[in-house]
């Protein structure tokens, strides 16, 4: 049985010590986990020093495989190695090494893997597949590492801060937490469990309860809390739950800010989620932050949601209401629901496909939140969307091209309305062409301005040649 090797190197325009420190911080594992892979973290002890271990479940085809890894050969600022104790490979060792170049102004990060496939000589049949998956994985990991570390250089004067996050267990909250901790910040999560962990604080937004001293030493509040818009059909009770979960949670946070008597000890900014649904169904009209709000259930929800957040301005807190578009990631949300159909070749446009769709990659949404915290030009409504909205027909054609599948089966409007009721008109068939006016004026640097690039990055197809 022979071993195989895989090596990939990356030049990063930051000092080696900075890059190595990034890998040592909490959140690095989650930040580097590819969103298209199904992973469950079971246990983690220590950081990356000798003897630290990570146990996880990885989905391989239809089965879940356990993977136990131990860190060894740690040399501070230089290297560490992951060695498989138990897992899907007969052998797996992964050396992470950072070498300084250009008189210390930059470095080269090298990932060198030695592996042996299972099942003896029969395992060699999977060599091409494994090699391709490693190419996908490290194209993604290196893109994230380089963008996160080099992008942080523009914020080098920022001191370590404490972020209080409501909705940290959701799709955006998990990604934001991993990003912030790798940037050297502390994250405190609001939870509904009475027995909170050291990095957690109890709250009950439905009753307005929040643990005493919850905002002690908190610099920033990020409010992402709210019942899922598309998690269930919209009955009258469900619509009320969607509204109340947003408004009540936001009011609870604003009340907690007001309870901090000394204004100098209050958070300096509240980032509160909203949505581009605030504009309603507007056809091809170009919409920026100063455009009028629209009509409809979602617009009414967003208007009340934003009003609750803006009340914090009277307490001397800068407020950003982040109007988010369709968040693209295979880890959840709209894209995750579309992927099975499109991978099976059963996808297609919705209705006539002419409705406009304003989207943003998950990494850009996380980046936009961070930028809005640090740039005071971000105040009031901020559209969290990529600069290039497109029609639903264009979106479905692009997704099909990235997946190398046809997109020939449209979903008629009548079928969508029968299946989803009012939700179909407001979530799927409404047309909203939104532009990121404030983010552009504040010079936020988008990672993914182009839809195809965003999809290829998120689906692990960035290294494939575009047809």
The verdict on 350 and 433 lying in the same domain is: yes
**pLDDT category, 381, cuts 50, 70, 90?**
very high
Residues 294 and 198 in one domain: yes
* Dihedral sign for Cα atoms in the order 133, 134, 139, 145: positive
Question: Do residues 51 and 180 both lie within one domain?
Answer: no
* pLDDT range class, residue 350, cuts 50, 70, 90: very high
Q: Is a pLDDT exceeding 70 seen at residue 321?
A: yes
pTM (2 d.p.): 0.95
Judge whether residue 61 has pLDDT over 80.
Answer: no
The DSSP code for 312 is G
- CATH number of the domain where residue 76 is located: 3.30.530.20
Nearest by Cα to 168 from 192, 197, 183, 190: 190
Whole-number pLDDT of residue 119: 83
Which range, of 12-16, 192-196, 287-291, averages the lowest pLDDT? 192-196
Residues 146 and 173 in one domain: no
Output the six-digit token pair for 437: 């006016």
DSSP string, 69-113: EEEEEEETTTEEEEEEEESSSSEEEEEEEEEEEGGGTEEEEEEEE
Residue 202 lies in a domain: yes
Residue 31 · residue 144 · CB < 8 Å: yes
CATH code of the domain covering residue 162: 3.40.50.720
**pLDDT tens for residues 406-434?**
998 898 888 888 888 888 998 899 999 99
**Where do we find the tokens 């009950």?**
204
- Number of domains the chain is built from: 2
Answer yes or no: is 252 within a domain. yes
Within-domain flag for 463: no
One domain, residues 69 and 204: no
pLDDT of 465 strictly over 50: no
Decide if pLDDT at 153 tops 90. Answer: no
Same domain, 125 and 194: no
| Residue 467 lies inside a defined structural domain of this protein | no
Could you tell me if 226 and 123 lie in one domain? no
Shared domain check, 141 and 166: no
Give mean pLDDT, residues 326-352.
92
Same domain, 294 and 372: yes
210-219, 274-283, 314-323, 378-387: lowest mean pLDDT where? 210-219
For the chain, the C-alpha Rg in angstroms (whole number) is: 23
Domain limits for position 237: 158-456
47, part of any domain:
yes
In a domain, 262, yes or no: yes
Residue 439 is predicted with a pLDDT of: 98
Task: Let me know whether 308 and 166 are in one domain.
Answer: yes
Residue 195 pLDDT level (bands cut at 50, 70, 90): confident
C-alpha count within 13 angstroms, C-beta hemisphere, residue 130: 18
Check residue 463 and give its pLDDT.
Answer: 60
HEC secondary structure over 368-428: HHHHHHHCCCCCEEEEECCCCCEEHHHHHHHHHHHHCCCCCCCECHHHHHHHHCHHHHHHH
Domain boundary among 120, 153, 186: 153
| Mean pLDDT of the region 282-310 | 97
- Average pLDDT in the chain: 93
One domain for residues 221 and 360:
yes
Residue 466: pLDDT band by 50, 70, 90 thresholds? very low
- Residues 125 and 200 placed together within one structural domain of the fold: no
Domain boundary among 133, 153, 173: 153
Query: In this prediction, what percent of the chain has a pLDDT beyond 70?
Result: 99
Q: What are the pLDDT digits (tens) for 245-281?
A: 999 999 999 999 999 988 889 999 999 999 999 999 9
What is the reported pLDDT for 393? 95
Which pLDDT score, from 0 to 100, does residue 225 have?
Answer: 94
Domain's final residue, options 123, 153, 183: 153
Q: Predicted confidence band at 208 (pLDDT cuts at 50, 70, 90)?
A: very high
Contact (Cβ atoms closer than 8 angstroms) between residue 450 and residue 388: yes
């Amino acid at each position: 049985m022979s071993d195989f090797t895989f090596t990939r190197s990356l030049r990063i325009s930051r000092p080696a010590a900075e890059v190595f420190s990034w890998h040592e911080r909490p959140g690095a594992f989650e930040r580097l986990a590819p969103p298209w892979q199904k992973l469950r973290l079971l246990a983690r002890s220590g950081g990356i020093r000798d003897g630290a271990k990570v146990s996880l479940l990885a989905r391989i085809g239809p089965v879940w495989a356990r993977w136990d890894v131990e860190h060894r050969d740690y040399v501070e600022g230089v290297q560490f190695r992951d060695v498989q104790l138990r897992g899907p490979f007969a052998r797996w060792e992964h050396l992470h090494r950072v070498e300084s170049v250009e008189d210390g102004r930059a470095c080269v990060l090298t990932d060198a893997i030695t592996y042996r496939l299972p099942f003896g000589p029969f395992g060699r049949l999977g060599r091409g597949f494994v090699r391709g998956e490693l190419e996908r994985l490290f194209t993604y990991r290196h893109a994230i590492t380089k963008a996160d570390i080099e992008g942080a250089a523009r914020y080098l004067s920022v001191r370590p801060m404490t972020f209080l996050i409501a909705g940290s267990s959701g799709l955006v909250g998990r990604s934001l937490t991993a990003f912030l901790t790798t940037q050297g910040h502390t994250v405190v999560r609001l939870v509904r469990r009475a027995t909170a962990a050291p990095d957690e604080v109890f709250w009950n937004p439905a009753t307005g309860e929040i643990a005493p001293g919850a905002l002690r030493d908190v610099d920033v509040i990020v409010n992402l809390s709210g019942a899922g818009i598309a998690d269930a059909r919209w009955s009258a009770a469900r619509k009320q739950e969607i509204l109340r979960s947003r408004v009540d949670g936001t009011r609870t946070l604003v009340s907690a800010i007001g309870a901090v008597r000394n204004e100098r000890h209050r958070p300096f900014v509240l980032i509160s989620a909203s949505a581009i649904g605030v504009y309603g169904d507007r056809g091809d009209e170009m919409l920026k932050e100063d455009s009028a709000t629209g009509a409809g259930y979602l617009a009414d929800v967003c208007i009340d949601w934003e009003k609750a957040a803006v009340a914090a301005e009277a307490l001397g807190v800068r407020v950003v209401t982040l109007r988010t578009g369709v968040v693209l990631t295979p880890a959840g949300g709209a894209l995750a629901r579309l992927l099975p159909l499109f991978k099976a070749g059963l996808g297609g446009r919705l209705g006539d496909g002419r409705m406009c769709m304003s989207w943003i990659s998950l990494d850009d949404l996380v980046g936009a939140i961070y930028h809005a915290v640090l740039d005071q030009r971000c105040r009031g409504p901020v559209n969290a969307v990529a600069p290039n909205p497109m029609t639903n027909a264009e979106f479905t054609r692009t997704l099909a091209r990235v997946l190398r599948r046809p997109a020939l089966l449209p979903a008629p409007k009548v079928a969508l309305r029968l299946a989803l009721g009012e939700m179909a008109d407001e979530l799927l068939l409404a047309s909203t062409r939104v532009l990121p006016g404030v983010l552009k004026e504040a010079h936020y640097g988008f990672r993914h301005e182009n839809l195809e690039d965003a999809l290829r990055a998120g689906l692990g197809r960035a290294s494939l040649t575009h047809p």
